[in-house]
Amino acid sequence: MKDRFETHIPFIRLTSLILLLLVLTRVPLASAHGPKGHGGIEFTALQAAKKGMELYDKLVASGKIDESWETDLQSFEVFPRQIGEKQEIVVKFSRSKGEPPSVYIFFTEKGEYSGSNFTGE
């Protein structure tokens, strides 16, 4: 019994060290610039990526876009675009094969969903 416990001690120490490092590295990052990031931006690119992924998952799960959008997903991008006087944030998901090659999800600069399509327009 003693031998079995002693063989697990290095694993327990390593696991504890990893958890401690994760906690210590997350706290400063989370509080570094507040929830809005630099420059008072209301909806950051990271927030857009997270929200875009949630909506993308819902589209795949509901069957509104084919399962190949999940299995053939190649990349995603987050970028701003100007439409007249309105600023939008676009999350673009691209797949390695199939037509159409990309799906776009649009958000207002406040983070509200404003649409999605396959053309990016």
Please check whether residues 52 and 82 belong to one and the same domain: yes
Share the mean pLDDT of the chain: 77
Domain encompassing residue 96: 41-117
Please check whether residues 61 and 110 belong to one and the same domain: yes
User: Model confidence over 27-76: pLDDT tens digits?
Assistant: 444 444 444 444 555 889 999 999 999 999 998 899 899 888 888 999 98
User: Model confidence over 64-103: pLDDT tens digits?
Assistant: 998 888 889 999 899 999 888 889 999 999 999 999 999 9
pLDDT of 35: 46
Full-model pTM: 0.65
Neighbours of 48 (CB within 10 A): 22
Please check whether residues 52 and 108 belong to one and the same domain: yes
Q: Could you tell me if residue 109 is left (phi over 0), alpha (psi between -120 and 50 degrees) or otherwise beta?
A: alpha
Please check whether residues 88 and 57 belong to one and the same domain: yes
Question: Measured in whole angstroms, how far is the alpha carbon of residue 18 from the centre of its chain?
Answer: 23
